[in-house]
Amino acid sequence: MQYLVSVIDDTAGLATSDEMAAIDEFNDGLRAEGHWVFAGGLASPSAATVIDNRGEEALVTDGPFLEAKEHLAGFWIMEAPDLDVALKLAAAGSKACNRKVEVRPFL
């Protein structure tokens, strides 16, 4: 089963060098234990572009979909046998990146 672990940030800054080192170590562990699928950091919400093509023409808007104190700063896609394992991995990821995370299974 695969899980999306979203990193939720409420700061405007990037990860510190200590946080990046902890994230790299966490990622190495995911790879070594066979849980790694993919991961990536995201640019700030101000770099976002929203596209709505539900009408006659596509509407393209600069900026985030919605203004919020918190934003999606990055994510992991992890392989885990069940939700309990995914939650333990996500807790370790939260500790490594020093941010809150949200866990959601893929359908």
Q: Which pTM was predicted?
A: 0.91
CB 75 within 8 A of CB 58: no
| pLDDT (0 to 100) of residue 46 | 85
Number of domains in the chain: 1
Return the amino acid letter for 16: T
| pLDDT (0 to 100) of residue 20 | 94
Provide the residue range defining the domain that includes 27: 2-105
Average pLDDT of 78-98? 98
Can you give the CATH number for the domain in which 31 is found? Answer: 3.30.70.1060
* Per-residue pLDDT band at 12 (split at 50, 70, 90): low
Read off the pLDDT of residues 24-69 as tens digits, 9 standing for 90 and up: 999 999 999 999 999 999 988 888 999 999 999 999 999 877 777 8
- Token pair in block for residue 12: 């405007």
